[in-house]
Structure formats: C-alpha cells, structure tokens
Structure 1
Amino acid sequence: MKIIDAQVHIWSQTVIPPGGGHRQVPSLSAEELLAEMAEAGVDAGLIHPPASWDPTSNALAIEAAKKYPDRFAIMGQFPPENPDNVRLIPGWRRQPGMMGLRWALLYGEQPRMIVDGRLDWIWPAAEREGVPVSLQAGVFLKKFRWIAERHPALTLIIDHCGLKVLTKDADALEHLDELLALARLPNVAVKATGAPAYSTQPYPYRNLHEPLHRIYDAFGPDRFFWGTDITRMPCTWRQCITFFTEELPWLAGHPRELEKVMGRGLAKWIGWDYAF
C-alpha cells in the first residue's frame, strides 16, 4: 500500500519563529524530509508552504516538486489579502507539482477577512479554473458552509480534522456536529491531519477513536484523508501511520478503504496523477 501524507512543510528561512507548535528550527529541507519519510515508510507528501514564517516557501516547494516529482506535490498559496492576485489563479495548476491552494487564515487580519467576505473573490475564480482549495475551516465552519454551498463545483478540503485548532480533548470537539453536517455537501472532504495533537493522552490516543470514527462515517473513505503535519506532532511519523493502520478497529482490517484513506483518495480528490 502506498502512503501519501496529506500535509507536510519545508522551509529555508524563518522571518519569524515557526508557529503552531512546529519545530523551532531555522530550516527544513526537502532532503531532510525525504530521509524522515524513508525511515517511517511514507511514499509521498503534499507540501503546504508555511508562508507565515517563510515568505519564500511557495517557490521552495515548487523546486522540491521539480526535483522529486514522484515524491512531492503542493497545495500552494499567495497573499490572499490582495485581490489583484486573482490573476494568478488561471494557470495555477500548470506550475510544477501544483495541485491547488491552501490557507490557514489564522494570521493578522485574515480571520476577520474570511468571515466578513473580503476574500470572497477567491472562490469563484478557483471554481472556474478547477483549482482545489484547502482551508483550516474548523475556526470558521459557518463561513465555510457558505462557500461550499454557493460554489458547488469548487473542490474543497477541511484541514486538521475540522476540529477546534490549538485545543485538546473535549475542547477540540466543540463544533464536531457542525463539521459532520458538512458531509452532506459532495464538494467537501476532510484531511484527518494532525490528529495526535488534539489529545493529551498517550499513543494510541483512545479518546480520539470515536470522534474520528464519526468523521469517517460521515464523509466516507473517498473524502477522509490521512496526514500528519509532522513537524508539530507529539509522536513519531511511524506512530502517526500505525495509529490509523493498526489502532482504529473500524479502519484496520479493511484494506480497500484503508488504501483510500492513506493516499489514494487524496490523490483522486485533488487530481494528483500519482502512480499507485
């Protein structure tokens, strides 16, 4: 079974220290990440450029995808605050390795801009050009529903299980029912990335088994994608894998569904022509 991590980062500089609990290192190269992937048994990774601390990370990701086209693809970004950047969306996917767009929208004015509509120029342009968009929507689920309903041909992904960012245990599940209701929209999928960071319990994070099961049951194996955000995980990359492949009784032992969750479903959703 091929394994694709739905969210990894590389960076070459740190204008500010990496946030969100990420490794406090000045750089992390594609080669360093590949070495860790080899040790863990990860075949490929979907790079999310961390522009909040490295403004050059989008170009760095493109260079990595050009150098290692069978190992990396990208959910890239540009500054969403500037409506003039709408000109970048046509042809966006013609860049090496570029699959779509991704923003966390956690910084500066961004949380207010997404809610009050100042970023609404992005969604019709991405829909028109067939560019998938991934968002850390757990902090603005009502607005995310508005986007998904008004742009039904826009391929959308909710990051980090759709749970409440930077919280743990029961606090992280505060909006779970609202997330599950989004499964009725066929253009919405969920990346089950960063799951271990939502628990204060040790591996295998038993308090997350039932909520992850509910998300999986709602969205199904074609719209539920494993991944890590490995540079801020409290466990090893290998444990992030076995958490899904061995510890979740409703998924382990179901090879076809597991293959979709661990990479095939993601590749199909974003149009990544990956050789399985």
Structure 2
Amino acid sequence: MNSIDFDIIDGQIHQPVPPVPLRDDMDDATKLLLNVEIAREAMDSVGVDAALIVAALPYIEACVSRYPERFIGVETFMLTDGELAKAIERARKDDRLAAGRLLVTNFRTTELQESFTSGAMNAGFAAAEAVGLPLFLSTHGQTAAMRPIIERHPQLAIIIDHIGLSQHPVSPPQDDPWHPLEDLLELAQYPNVHVKLCGIPLLSNDSYPFADVWPNLHRIFDAFGAERLLWASDYTRLRMATAGGPMRNRGCLYSESRDMLLHSEEISTAAKEAIFGGTVKRLLNWSPGSN
C-alpha cells in the first residue's frame, strides 16, 4: 500500500442525483444541498480531498458555498461567437470557477459540432487565451481536429477530456476504444496541451486493477509527462454503466477508478503526486483548503 502524503483532487464529477426521487414539496435549494452532500459523502468514502465540479452554475454555487475548501467549478459554455466570448470573460472574473469547457464534439454521435466546424467557437478560444481561462475540450475521438486551434492559440491552456477517446457510456461503444490514441499523442508536441485521465476503467477488458490499459497509459505518460496529466473519476458517469454487462459497459466503483492509479507500481510517487493534484493546482491556480 502506498503512503499518501499529497492531495487527491478529482478532475471531474458531475452533479449526482439521489437513487430515489425527492419529495415534490422539497424546494430547489434543499435538493441542491442534498446533491452536494451526496458528492461530498462519495468523496469522503474513497479518500478524495477535493474535486472540480463540471455542472450547471446553480450546483457549482451550492458546492462552492458549502465547501469552498473542497470544490471549484468548471462551466460548460453552450454559446457561440460574441456571446461565447462574453461568457468566458465573465467566467474568468467568477471566483467560483477555475476553468471552462467546450463540447466540440457531439458525445451521442462522436461527430464534430457544427458550431465548431463553422468557426462559431473561434471567438471563445480567442477570449479564453486573452483572459487566461483554461479550457477543457470534450473531443470524443476527434482530437486531430484540435490541432489548428492549438496552433492558433499557443498561450491557451487546453485540457483534452476523457483521454481524447470516445467512451461508453454515454457515447456509442467502440470495437477498439483506444484507436484514436495516436491523434492524442501527436498533440504532445504542444506544451499548452494537457490530458485528463478520465474514465480509464471503462476502456478495459479486465476487472480491477484493469491491467490491460497500462501499455497505452505508458505511451501517454511518456509523451506528455505526468506534469501535463490529471486524474478524474467521472464517477457519476461510471454509476450509469450497467453492472453485469459487457466489460466496457459495467458498473465500476469510485474507489477502483482512483486506486488503479494510486496503488499501482507502474508509475512513481512523483508522477502520482502530479496527476492527483499537482497538475490541477498549477494549471488552474487553485489549491484546496485555501479559500
């Protein structure tokens, strides 16, 4: 068992929901508070110190207000052109937020969004670079299409979501979910590009500790270095997987997502310290417990 003397920061959780419907007479603020406590309890149960909340602003506000030392928000922008640029400029001034996210690909089809291919997101990329707001990009296997944006905005901190791969659920299952990995590795030449190690268990054909993923993970570590990688559980999505189904479509424990890396002998303690918190702290200029 590894000795852990560094923060464990989850790079992505969405708003969880109770397993049973809440009472109709419960007000929205109370419902949000319950969902905050579900997330906090899940984190406490597996030893996660802090998390990036990728959700709507009301839930981000509820999380940050109740536990400012443990949560910070990532806002998903659904706007285009000038409105997108204004939203990014506003987000940079919002203490509840550390980054933004753009859905450059439709996760249901894994095709690039029309708003991306038409250039309607371009003003957002420019604004994010200008104000210094890091952007998470959900590419779902379309990482090669990010190269022109990366080259155009070398000062923009970019984090490729979900290892740049299409992952089931919620995207369509792939015969080989790792097949676009070469496109991701090509982006390692750009120092402003980072990778979120998210949803790894769902890319495995093995049970815990998912040993078959390591050949590909080593390629990612070798290309980017641990200082440009960050771990994320996305445990709320893992909960959607059907236990007992095909290997890439099964229930997976929050603790398994963490421990397959944290207690692995495949990477050094220094690498673990980076991916479990060091990268997030540096990249997003945020330290848990400092608020």
User: Which TM-score band applies after superposition, normalised by the shorter structure?
Assistant: 0.7 to 0.9
Counterpart check, 1:152 vs 2:154: yes
Q: Which residue does the alignment assign to 1:22?
A: none
**CA 1:39 to 1:232, structure 2 compared with 1: closer, same or farther past 3 Å?**
same
Task: Find the counterpart in structure 1 of residue 248 from structure 2.
Answer: none
211-220 or 97-106, which deviates more: 97-106
**Aligned-pair CA distance for 1:170:** 5.9
Q: 1:85, 1:117 → 2: CA distance? A: 12
In structure 2, do the counterparts of structure 1 residues 85 and 138 end up closer, same or farther at CA, with 3 Å as the change threshold?
closer
Per-residue CA deviations over 1:132-167 (Å, capped at 9, x if unaligned) read 000112432222111111000001000011123336
Q: In the alignment, which residue of structure 2 is the partner of 1:17?
A: none
Question: What corresponds to 1:186 in structure 2?
Answer: 191
C-alpha displacement of 1:255: 1.7
Does 2:120 match 1:87? no
Q: Output the amino acid matched with 1:189.
A: H
Bigger shift: 210-219 or 57-66? 57-66
Quick one: which amino acid aligns to residue 199 of structure 1?
Answer: S
**Percent same amino acid at aligned positions?**
30
Alignment CA distance shift 1:175-1:110 (3 Å): closer
Q: How far apart are the structure 2 equivalents of 1:264 and 1:5?
A: 12
The one-character-per-residue Cα deviations of 1:12-36 (angstroms, maximum 9, x if unpaired) are: 79xxxxxxxxxxxx98711111001
1:260 and 2:266 equivalent?
Answer: no
Counterpart CA distance in 2 for 1:272 and 1:170 is 38
Shift of the alpha carbon at 1:258?
Answer: 1.0
Q: TM-score under structure 1 normalisation?
A: 0.84
Change (3 A) 1:118 1:169: closer
Query: 2:115, 2:136 → 1: CA distance?
Result: 16
Q: How far does residue 73 in structure 1 lie from its aligned partner after superposition?
A: 0.8
Tell me the matched-pair count.
254
Whole-Å separation in 2 of the counterparts to 1:94 and 1:131: 10
Contiguous gaps of at least 5 residues in structure 1: 14-25, 50-56
Q: What is the alpha-carbon distance in structure 1 between the residues aligned to residue 102 and residue 75 of structure 2?
A: 8
Runs of 4+ in 1 over 4 A off after TM superposition: 107-110, 167-170
Instruction: Name the counterpart of 2:134.
Output: 132
Q: Which runs of 5+ in 2 are unaligned?
A: 1-5, 19-30, 239-250
Instruction: Please name the residue that 1:250 is paired with.
Output: 266
Give the deviation of 1:110 after TM superposition: 6.7
How far is the alpha carbon of 1:179 from its aligned partner?
0.7
> What amino acid maps onto 1:192 in structure 2?
L
CA positional deviation for 1:230: 0.3
